[in-house]
Amino acid sequence: MRSHNSLFIIGFTSIFLAGCASQSPRFPEAESEPQAATAPAIRATDAASSVALQALAYLGTPYRTGGESPRTGFDCSGLVAYVYREGAGMALPRNTLELSHAGQAIDADALRPGDLVFYNTQRREYSHVGIYLGEHRFIHAPSSGGEVRVENLRAGYWTRRFSGARRLIDLGGDAGAASAARVTASSSH
């Protein structure tokens, strides 16, 4: 499985470095259960896109409750915290409710790669989080027995459970002082 992920990452990086863009596959608008989607082409033109691109490196990493590294596995907030720490130098809260107060709230139609998307998967809002990749896809650590994967946020399962979205890195492309201050301030609540 790891060699398959390595080949994927090498291929994806090659496309990225060549500056190519690919057309995304078509997905049905509504599905009864979540299904893994293919990863969109991401161009790392700013810090937020770099975070999204880095998250793809952990595809296939096993889910583990409380997990916060590729070595031990990830839970959903562990994946987000790790990717933002490594990719943008940002220390984030380690649970989804606290993450739901970080940064700036944004509308679903304003999503950009690197934004956080939140879902109600445990009968409470903001109980699950992923990182938006672009082209209506996000990456997350789904649940016990699963592994980090890409999903289509337009799938019926995810559409019905959508709680909101947050932007942690400003549109200027840097993890600016204002964004970092909001993240730090919100983690103390």
Q: Choosing from 4, 20, 76, 189, which is the catalytic residue?
A: 76
Indicate whether 27 belongs to any domain.
Answer: no
What is the rounded CA–CA span in Å between residue 1 and residue 60?
Answer: 7
Instruction: Give residue 179's identity as a one-letter amino acid code.
Output: S
Reduced to 3 states, what is the DSSP secondary structure of residue 173? coil
pLDDT in tens, 143-160: 988 999 999 999 999 999
Q: Give me the mean pLDDT over the 27-43 stretch.
A: 47
Map residue 17 onto helix, strand or coil. Answer: helix
Range of the domain at 154: 2-18+35-186
Question: Quick one: tokens of 159?
Answer: 């559409």
Of 4, 20, 101, 128, catalytic: 128
Local structure of 56: helix, strand or coil: helix
CATH number for the domain spanning 64: value is 3.90.1720.10
pLDDT at res. 46: 78
Is residue 30 in some structural domain?
Answer: no
Tell me the β-bridge partners of 129. Answer: 118
Listing from the earlier edge strand, what are the strands of the sheet with 128-134?
A: 104-106, 162-167, 116-119, 128-134, 137-140, 149-152
Residue 23 falls inside a structural domain: no
Q: Whole-number mean pLDDT of the chain?
A: 77
Looking at the structure of the chain, the number of domains it has is 1
Q: Which residues, other chains included, contact 159 with Cβ-Cβ below 8 Å and sequence gap of 6+?
A: 30, 153
Q: Would residue 26 count as lying in a domain?
A: no
140 catalytic per annotation: yes
Averaged over 4-26, what is the pLDDT?
Answer: 38
Backbone angles phi and psi of 157, in degrees to 5:
-55, -45
Q: Give me 178's structure tokens.
A: 């204002």
Chain length of the chain = 189
Range name among 47-56, 109-118, 128-137, 167-176 with the lowest pLDDT average: 167-176
Tell me how far apart the terminal alpha carbons of the chain are, to the nearest angstrom: 40
Q: 4, 101, 140, 189: which one is catalytic? A: 140
**Does 145 reside within a domain?**
yes
- Please compute the mean of the pLDDT values over residues 130-143 and round it to a whole number: 96
**Does 24 reside within a domain?**
no
154 occurs within a structural domain:
yes
Nearest-angstrom CA–CA distance, 142 and 130? 9
Residue % of the chain over a pLDDT of 70: 66
Q: Say whether 128 is catalytic.
A: yes
105 within a domain of the structure (yes/no): yes
Q: Could you tell me the pTM of the whole model?
A: 0.72
